[in-house]
Amino acid sequence: MVRIDTEKCLGCGGCIDLCPTIAISMINDVVTIDEKLCTECGICSKVCPVRAPYKED
């Protein structure tokens, strides 16, 4: 599954905007991925300026 490294994430929200399955939201100013909707397409890590999203087995 894909997770967000909250230490790296600056909260710009670019991944939220560009996620094709609307799997990412901002909850209490923290960028959060909904596992049920995420297809692990990798677009979020491609566009992230600080490479905060990472894959975890």
Partner 1 sequence: MAKDYDIVIVGAGPAGLMTAKTAGESGLSIALLERKKDIGKIRRTDAGVVALNEYLYGQVVKFNYKTRTLVFPVSGFSLKYEGPWNDNRYGFHFYSPGGKRFMVGDWAELKKDPKKNSKGIALAKGLLLKSILGDAQSFGVEYFPNTNVLKVNGENDRVSVETNRGEYNGRFVVAADGVNSRVVRSLGLNKKRNFLGTSRYLTWVMTGVRPPDAEGLIFVMTMYGTFSVSQVCDEDHFHVGIMSGDYTLDLEPQLDRFTREDPIFSHWFREAKRTDDAECCVVNGWQAMENPFYNNVIIVGDACWSEQFSNPPSLTAGYQLGHALTRAFMDEKFNEEGVAQYLEWYDSTIYKPYGQRAVGGGSLVKYLTAEELDYLAALVPKPVPSTASFLNVFNTLLETY
Residues of the shown chain interacting with partner 1 in the complex, contacts defined by CB under 8 A: 10-18, 22, 25-29, 46-51
Residue nearer to partner 1 on the CB measure, 4 or 48: 48
CB of 4 to partner 1, least distance (A): 13
| 38, two tokens | 């995420």
Structure tokens, 41 = 């397409």
The tokens describing 8, both together, are: 């790296």
CB 57 to partner 1: min, Å:
23
If the CB atoms of residues 16 and 38 are measured against partner 1, the closer one turns out to be 16
Name 56's Cβ contacts closer than 8 Å, sequence gap at least 6.
1, 2, 3
